[in-house]
Amino acid sequence: MSKATVLVRLKSEVLDPQGDAVKRALDKLGFDGVRGVRIGKLIEIDLGDAPVADPAALKERLAKMADEMLANPVIEDFEIVV
Amino acid sequence: MSKATVLVRLKSEVLDPQGDAVKRALDKLGFDGVRGVRIGKLIEIDLGDAPVADPAALKERLAKMADEMLANPVIEDFEIVV
């Protein structure tokens, strides 16, 4: 089974209230030393059993998917891992 | 800056309606060959500038964080990347 992963992260200049809430909760639970938490998305795409003929083309297609659908390019960056 | 990443995935036996919706949307946009999509969380933890003295202890601490707070162990698995 070939699988691709798209990691979607908020751009560093975008506030992450969810991450801040998790950081505060970790502080309260006694986990010190955490300076910050950022939460993004881990998107795993099952591409079926067919062998990947052209990895570069696949990566390009995945980048198009991420740009059009999986990430919001205004506030998020993405990284493709094949 | 030392940073740790916690990847949180739904267990394989748990349905992922969000992933299914993304899969259908990709189909509609003309991206064929996608057999399934699963969506998880990418949690990045900033641990400050202090050098990591004991990587094994750090990993254990992160696993405790993930188990108590970052993931729901009933329906999710997590993976720690230091």
**CATH number of the domain bearing residue A71:** 3.30.1280.10
Q: pTM (2 decimals)?
A: 0.92
Taking residues A35-60, report their average pLDDT: 90
CB-CB under 8 Å, B37 with A46: yes
pLDDT score for A82:
87
Residues of chain B found within 8 Å of residue A61, distances taken between Cβ atoms: 31
CB-CB under 8 Å, B38 with A41: no
Please name which of A46, A36, A34, A43 lies closest in space to residue A72, comparing C-alpha atoms.
Answer: A43
Q: How many domains are there within chain B?
A: 1
The domain of A66 spans: 3-81
pLDDT score for B53:
78
Indicate the residue of A31, A42, A46 with minimum beta-carbon distance to B65.
A31
User: Is the C-alpha dihedral spanning A57, B12, A70, B23 positive or negative?
Assistant: positive
Q: How confident is the model at residue A33 (pLDDT cuts 50, 70, 90)?
A: confident
